[in-house]
Amino acid sequence: MYEGIDESALRDYILNKFTAEGDFDFLKEGELPAIVDAMRGFDEEYMRASGANEGEIYDDDDAYELIFTRLQAAYPQYKMYCMRLAEDYLDFVEEYLASVDAIDWE
């Protein structure tokens, strides 16, 4: 998804950040990893559709809208938490990418 990025390390980072927050303890066992994987898939969908995976600008507002909308459809039982999940996901991805110098701020 992100060229030159260790996807496994990124996933682990995101999961660890969500777990450390402790705000999503209401999720059933195994749901958090599944939700994170779903958001990563939605993010990849955005990147392909926008051309961000080929060097176009990554618009985090547009990415958020797609991730949020798809997440609500995929997890209607958590509809009221999807905004927070999507926002935190994007924050955690940005933190990780910044930590490995993978963000080119334009």
Confidence of residue 72 (pLDDT cuts 50, 70, 90): very high
Q: What is the per-residue pLDDT for 91?
A: 97
Q: pTM to 2 decimals?
A: 0.91
Tally Cβ neighbours within 10 Å of residue 62: 14
25 vs 92, residue with greater confidence: 92
Quick check: is 72 in a domain? yes
Summarised one tens digit per residue, pLDDT across range 5-62 is 899 999 999 999 999 998 888 899 999 999 999 999 999 999 999 999 898 999 999 9
Domain enclosing residue 46, as ranges: 7-99
Tally Cβ neighbours within 10 Å of residue 66: 17
Quick check: is 70 in a domain? yes
Q: Domain count of the chain?
A: 1
Quick check: is 1 in a domain? no
Quick check: is 11 in a domain? yes
Q: Residue 86 is encoded by which pair of tokens?
A: 């999507």
Residue that has been written with the tokens 């999507």 in this structure: 86
